């Protein structure tokens, strides 16, 4: 009788692939104290195991998929698990699987910090772009090369000042632009994606090799689902903004499909006529002569964007499938509102005096194609992938940054690897061949390079508590040579609810094609000292980094705590050499050979910090709080790359400009029947990307569902943080330069805004 009472609880598991199809024959092992119980999923992916009340650990293994270990977690009655296994060819960098027990999300082992922000989380807050969700991750900083307006490009950087040290990917396909080394993510609509993964630092088994230092941002496109789903939405809001999107996912036999279309329009916050001083403004002259070359000019901030996605799969068996994904993004933006600024901050209305390049229009055309397949080979799985992406920028106007340059970047990639996943181990080896080319009006010929990358990686659990991961990566570039890097990580389960993890690894950032190209002097601009700026250096070599990571995690039934510490030592960072001595002496006006500024490898830099994430669920409420410290500073830099004459902002042992040492975020969500509400806050400390003082942005939403319809009212920037129409010249918080404070421009973002969203789901 006592035995029957002990086995009173049924633990039911539904095991399926992330694409939606059930996984039959999956081995499900339940560790219950000193006992081990076994089960296997049926043709529908279901299995039930009788367990005693208490704490259990569940291990799910299926050939062709990454195994997952969950727990320990408490069983007090009949419970159901939903386990989504990731195939061997998963696009995720480090996510092993997703698991829910009675609707509550559980976490799996992670050796380095990896945060997934889901679409449902972002939609609950009324967000319409992925950029808004990324702002809540404390390790993420945004570069603002053309100001803070919604039309300006926004590259993402992780843990450091250089966006080119961070990979941006779609389902594992690298999208970084060849001209600037990063990607403008400002116009990526949420409707195309199921979530975004932020993987920080150097992971022991990164799929894309070692050509990154800060980490990676991986966008998950919509994928086929087992059951058909469809949704349509229309939204209108402040500043003449509107959006309409439609998507559908499902499966028909062995065929799966997912598609989405999005149309976004914006009239914008800036729409006025001003007097542009095309020849400059001199306040010392009489009022009638202060504005040189006055020209009536219209400043605007319109956006017209259209995005499309198609994802189709064919899976003749559980261990083999083939898929095609097509993604296109096109948008046209009037950037005159962000690239021109009032001469006097207090006089910015119609007819006021402005300075800047005048009309500025940017068109972005991004296309990403991917064909992938996997099939069993021996005791493992063979995975093949072929991808192509084009990133085209067309810019008209003078421009103010390297992002305002017309160019086309094309990347072709072929990869092949074999992987075997066992009960307590994983082994994989393979590589890829990549061809990258860059062309534009600013260069005389197409630039190109070939990249070969080979790897071996794996994981092993010698005991139930110890988990090891490691990898070796060899990269060969036709432009500069090779790099051999290694990673290693270990995780130790302290008890049933907590674990320690540590890792060490090396990585590199390759020079950009444009950084090694030697321009004719006629194609370069000269600064006030007579120095030709923007020259390339064919002798430039990669940056190299060594990173150390230490973390702790604790997971209870309704509470989650994750903490991590990191330090990255960067060797030979790429900075710009400036001929300071000649410029100071006034010799650059007629020097032979001419004075040039160009990138070189010099000195060192350090990125170090900490991150703390807390999650709590209480009844109908869930809350998350995150706090990050990101310290980044150069060391041993000579004065030739940091000097007052060139306006340099590199100072030895001082925080890099626009990297706030402290960042934090919070979000609270409430769900009660048909009602839902959420609030989100993002804090940026001093030295932030807007050159403003510390500020807090608060967003909120409330909605009500009636059947398949949902009506949501969303509000953004309720605090009016850093709000304004235009950049304020010299109005930012000064930066401590080599010989004193360096003035900065204060960038403005949109004030409080509202959106009304009507969504129908089937």
Kindly tell me the burial class for residue 308, based on how many C-beta atoms sit within 10 Å of its own C-beta (0-12, 13-18, 19 or more). Answer: middle
Cα separation values, 68 from 29, 147, 681, 745, Å: 11, 44, 33, 49
- Closest to 189 measured CA to CA, from 117, 112, 143, 131: 131
> Could you give the residue ranges of the DSSP H alpha helices within 547-661?
580-584
- Rounded Cα distance between 130 and 147, Å, is 19
Provide the 10 A C-beta neighbour count for residue 187.
22
- Rounded Cα distance between 342 and 138, Å, is 33
- The 3-state DSSP class for residue 561 equals strand
- Rounded Cα distance between 472 and 617, Å, is 40
The pLDDT value recorded for residue 645 is 61
pLDDT digits (tens, 9 = 90+) for 31-68: 776 677 778 887 777 888 888 777 777 878 776 666 67
Dihedral sign for Cα atoms in the order 685, 691, 695, 698: negative
- Rounded Cα distance between 439 and 190, Å, is 30
Q: Are 657 and 631 in contact (CB under 8 A)?
A: no
The pLDDT value recorded for residue 663 is 97
The pLDDT value recorded for residue 104 is 45
Q: Are 296 and 273 in contact (CB under 8 A)?
A: yes
- Rounded Cα distance between 195 and 172, Å, is 13
Cα-to-chain-centroid distance, residue 607: 18
391 bridge partner residues: 366, 409
Take residue 406 and report the two structure tokens written for it: 């017309």
Q: How many DSSP H helices and E strands does the chain contain?
A: 6, 48
Q: Are 111 and 489 in contact (CB under 8 A)?
A: yes
592 Cβ neighbours under 8 A, 6+ residues apart: none
Kindly tell me the burial class for residue 631, based on how many C-beta atoms sit within 10 Å of its own C-beta (0-12, 13-18, 19 or more). Answer: middle
Take residue 683 and report the two structure tokens written for it: 């804090």
The pLDDT value recorded for residue 233 is 96
Take residue 162 and report the two structure tokens written for it: 């250089």
Residues across the chain: 762
Rounded (to 5) percent helix, strand, coil in the chain = 5, 55, 40
Would you call the peptide bond into 452 cis, given omega within 30 degrees of 0 as the criterion? Answer: no
The pLDDT value recorded for residue 127 is 93
DSSP per residue, 83-111? EEEPBTT-S-SS--EEEEETTEEE----S
Radius of gyration of the chain (CA): 27
**Long-range Cβ contact pairs of 701-709 (< 8 A, separation 24 or more):** 701/124, 701/125, 701/126, 701/677, 702/675, 702/676, 702/677, 703/675, 703/676, 703/677, 703/757, 704/674, 704/675, 704/676, 705/674, 705/676, 706/674, 708/760, 708/761, 708/762, 709/758, 709/759, 709/760
Residue numbers of the chain with a pLDDT score lower than 50: 1-7, 88-96, 103-108, 204-205
Exposed e or buried b per residue across 367-406, where buried means at least 16 C-beta atoms within 10 angstroms of its C-beta: bbbbebbbeeeeebbbbbbebebebbbebebebbeebbbb
Cα separation values, 296 from 137, 299, 357, Å: 43, 10, 13
- For residue 163, give the DSSP letter: G
The pLDDT value recorded for residue 362 is 96
Cα separation values, 651 from 211, 630, 637, 660, 735, Å: 26, 17, 8, 16, 10
Query: How crowded is the C-beta side of 161, counted as CA atoms within 13 Å?
Result: 24
610 bridge partner residues: 565, 629
Domains of the chain, start order: 2-85 (2.60.40.10), 114-414+428-726+740-761 (2.40.170.20)
CA terminus-to-terminus distance, the chain:
48
The pLDDT value recorded for residue 114 is 78
Take residue 87 and report the two structure tokens written for it: 């195939």
To the question of pTM greater than 0.85 for the whole model, the response is yes
Would you call the peptide bond into 72 cis, given omega within 30 degrees of 0 as the criterion? Answer: yes
Kindly tell me the burial class for residue 709, based on how many C-beta atoms sit within 10 Å of its own C-beta (0-12, 13-18, 19 or more). Answer: exposed
Q: What is the 3-state secondary structure (H, E, C) of 259-319?
A: EEEEEEEECCCCEEEEEEECCCECCCCCCCCCECCEEEEEEECCEEEEEEEEEEEEEEECC
- Rounded Cα distance between 537 and 450, Å, is 19
- Closest to 111 measured CA to CA, from 123, 128, 94: 94
Q: What is the 3-state secondary structure (H, E, C) of 124-161?
A: HCCCCEHHHHHCCCCCEEECCCCCCCCCCCCCEEECCC
Sheet holding 97-101, edge to edge: 46-51, 9-17, 79-85, 97-101, 104-106
- Rounded Cα distance between 211 and 340, Å, is 36
- Rounded Cα distance between 612 and 624, Å, is 11
- Rounded Cα distance between 572 and 213, Å, is 13
Q: Are 708 and 715 in contact (CB under 8 A)?
A: no
Provide the 10 A C-beta neighbour count for residue 465.
12
- Rounded Cα distance between 630 and 260, Å, is 37
The pLDDT value recorded for residue 163 is 92
- Rounded Cα distance between 513 and 536, Å, is 9
**Phi, psi torsion values for 239, nearest 5 degrees:** 60, 35
């Amino acid at each position: 009788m006592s035995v029957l009472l002990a086995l009173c609880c049924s633990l039911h598991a539904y095991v399926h692939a992330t694409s939606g199809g059930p996984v039959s024959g999956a081995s499900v092992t339940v560790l219950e104290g000193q006992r081990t119980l076994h089960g296997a999923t049926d043709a529908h992916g279901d299995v039930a195991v009788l367990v005693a009340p208490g704490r259990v650990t569940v291990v799910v293994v299926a050939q062709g998929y990454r195994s997952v270990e969950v727990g320990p977690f408490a069983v007090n009655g009949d419970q159901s698990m939903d386990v989504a296994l990731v195939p061997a060819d998963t696009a995720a960098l480090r996510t092993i699987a997703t698991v829910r027990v009675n609707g509550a999300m559980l976490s799996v082992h992670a050796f380095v910090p990896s945060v997934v922000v889901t679409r449902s989380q972002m939609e609950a807050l009324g967000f319409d772009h992925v950029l808004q969700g990324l702002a809540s991750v404390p390790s993420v900083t945004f570069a603002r090369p053309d100001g803070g307006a919604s039309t300006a490009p926004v590259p993402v950087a992780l843990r450091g000042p250089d966006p080119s040290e961070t990979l941006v990917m779609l389902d594992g396909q690298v999208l970084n632009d060849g001209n600037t080394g990063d990607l403008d993510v400002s116009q990526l609509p949420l409707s195309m994606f199921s979530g975004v993964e932020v993987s920080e630092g150097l992971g022991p088994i990164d799929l894309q090799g070692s050509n990154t230092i800060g980490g990676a941002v991986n966008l998950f496109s919509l994928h086929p689902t087992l059951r058909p789903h469809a949704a349509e939405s229309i939204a209108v809001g402040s500043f003449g903004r509107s959006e309409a999107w439609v998507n559908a996912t499902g499966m028909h036999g062995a065929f799966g499909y997912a598609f989405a279309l999005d149309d976004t329009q914006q009239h914008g916050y800036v729409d006025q006529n001003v007097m542009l001083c095309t020849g400059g403004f001199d306040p010392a002259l009489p009022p009638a002569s202060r504005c040189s070359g006055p020209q009536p000019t219209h400043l605007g901030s319109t956006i017209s964007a259209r995005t499309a996605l198609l994802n189709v799969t064919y899976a003749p068996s559980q261990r083999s499938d083939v898929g095609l994904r097509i993604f296109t993004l096109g948008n046209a933006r009037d950037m005159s509102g962000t690239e021109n600024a009032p001469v006097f901050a207090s006089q910015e209305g119609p007819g006021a005096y402005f300075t800047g390049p005048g009309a500025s229009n940017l068109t972005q055309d991004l296309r990403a194609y991917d064909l992938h397949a996997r099939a069993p080979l021996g005791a493992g799985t063979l995975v093949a992938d072929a991808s192509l992406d084009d990133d085209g920028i067309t810019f008209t106007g003078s421009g103010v940054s390297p992002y305002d340059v017309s160019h086309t970047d094309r990347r072709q990639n072929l990869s092949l690897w074999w992987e075997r996943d066992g009960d307590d181990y994983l082994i994989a080896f393979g590589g890829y061949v990549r061809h990258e080319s860059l062309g534009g009006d600013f260069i005389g010929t197409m630039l190109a390079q070939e990249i070969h990358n080979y790897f071996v990686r794996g994981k092993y659990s010698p005991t139930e508590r110890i988990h090891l991961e490691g990898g070796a990566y060899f990269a060969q570039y036709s432009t500069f040579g090779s790099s051999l890097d290694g990673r290693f990580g270990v995780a130790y389960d302290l008890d049933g609810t907590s674990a320690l993890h540590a890792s060490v690894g090396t990585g590199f950032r390759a020079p950009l094609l444009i950084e090694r190209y030697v321009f004719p002097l006629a194609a370069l601009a000269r600064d006030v000292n007579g120095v030709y700026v923007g020259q390339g250096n064919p002798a430039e070599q990669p940056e190299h980094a060594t990173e150390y990571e230490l973390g702790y995690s604790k997971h209870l039934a309704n509470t989650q705590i994750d903490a991590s510490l990191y330090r990255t030592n960067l060797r030979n960072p790429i900075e710009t050499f400036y001929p300071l001595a000649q410029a100071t002496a006034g010799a650059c006006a007629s020097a032979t050979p001419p004075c040039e500024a160009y990138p070189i490898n010099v000195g060192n830099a350090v990125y170090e910090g900490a991150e703390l994430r807390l999650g709590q669920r209480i009844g109908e409420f869930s809350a998350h709080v995150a706090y990050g410290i990101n310290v980044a500073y150069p060391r041993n830099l000579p004065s030739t790359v940091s000097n007052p004459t060139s306006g340099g902002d590199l100072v030895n042992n001082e925080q890099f400009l626009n990297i706030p040492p402290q960042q934090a975020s919070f979000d609270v969500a409430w769900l009660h029947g048909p009602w839902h509400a959420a609030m989100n806050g993002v804090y940026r400390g001093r030295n932030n990307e807007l050159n403003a003082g510390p500020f807090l942005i608060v967003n909120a939403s409330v909605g009500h569902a009636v059947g398949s319809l949902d009506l949501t009212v969303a509000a953004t920037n309720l605090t009016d943080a850093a709000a304004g129409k235009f950049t304020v010249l010299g109005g930012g918080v000064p930066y401590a330069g080599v010989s004193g404070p360096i003035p900065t421009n204060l960038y403005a973002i949109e004030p409080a805004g509202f959106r009304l969203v009507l969504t129908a789901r089937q």
